[in-house]
Amino acid sequence: MYGYKTFHPNLAQSLIDSVRAGTSSHAYIFEGSKGMYKTETARLFANALVCAHPNTAPCGECAACRQAKAGSCPDIIFVEHDKGKDGKHKKKIGVDAARETNADALKKPFAAPRKVYIIPDGENLTPEAQNALLKTLEEPPEYVVFMIIIPSASQLLQTIISRSTVITFNAVPADKIYDHIVEKYPEKRDRAAFITAYSDGVPGAADSLAADDSFDELRGKCLFMLERLLSNDAEDAFKIEDFVGENSDRINEICDIWISLLRDISVLHCGKTEAVINSDKLDALRQLMPKADLKRCVRGVELLVESEEMLSKSVKAGAVMLRCALMI
DSSP state letters, 203-225: HHHHHHHHH-TTHHHHHHHHHHH
What confidence score (pLDDT) does residue 299 get?
94
Q: How many helices (H) and strands (E) does the chain have?
A: 15, 5
pLDDT at residue 9 greater than cutoff 70: yes
What's the pLDDT tens digit per position in 83-106?
Answer: 776 767 778 899 999 999 999 999
Name the amino acid, one letter, at 32: G
Q: Do residues 43 and 5 make contact, with C-beta atoms less than 8 angstroms apart?
A: no
What's the pLDDT tens digit per position in 106-161?
Answer: 999 999 999 999 999 999 999 999 999 999 999 999 999 999 999 999 999 999 99
What confidence score (pLDDT) does residue 82 get?
66
- Rg value, the chain, Cα: 23
Select from 84, 80, 88, 47 the least CA-distant residue to 64: 47
What's the mean per-residue pLDDT of the chain?
94
Helix axes 215-229, 234-246, angle to 10 degrees: 160
List alpha helices for 139-247, DSSP H: 158-161, 174-184, 192-199, 203-211, 215-229, 234-246
What confidence score (pLDDT) does residue 247 get?
93
Percent of the chain with pLDDT over 70: 99
Rounded to 5 degrees, φ, ψ at 313 are -100, 20
Rounded to 5 degrees, φ, ψ at 111 are -150, -25
pLDDT at residue 315 greater than cutoff 90: no
Average pLDDT over residues 17-41: 97
What confidence score (pLDDT) does residue 179 get?
97
What confidence score (pLDDT) does residue 110 get?
96
CA–CA separation, 155 and 216 (whole Å):
34
On the 0-12 / 13-18 / 19+ scale of CB atoms within 10 A, 144 is buried
What confidence score (pLDDT) does residue 180 get?
96
Q: Which long-range contacts (CB under 8 A, 24 or more apart) does 250-254 make?
A: 250/218, 251/311, 251/317, 251/321, 252/308, 252/311, 253/215, 253/218, 254/218, 254/222
326, containing H or E segment: helix 317-327
What's the pLDDT tens digit per position in 56-80?
Answer: 999 999 999 999 999 999 999 999 8
Q: Is 235 helix (H, G, I), strand (E, B) or coil?
A: helix
pLDDT at residue 326 greater than cutoff 90: no
pLDDT at residue 250 greater than cutoff 80: yes
What's the pLDDT tens digit per position in 178-231?
Answer: 999 999 999 999 999 999 999 999 999 999 999 999 999 999 999 999 999 999
Determine which of 45-54, 179-188, 277-286, 315-324 has the lowest per-residue pLDDT on average.
Answer: 315-324
Which pLDDT band, with edges at 50, 70 and 90, does 3 fall under? very high
Which pLDDT band, with edges at 50, 70 and 90, does 314 fall under? confident
Q: Do residues 164 and 119 make contact, with C-beta atoms less than 8 angstroms apart?
A: no
CA–CA separation, 1 and 176 (whole Å):
14
Q: Do residues 229 and 258 make contact, with C-beta atoms less than 8 angstroms apart?
A: yes
CA–CA separation, 257 and 219 (whole Å):
6
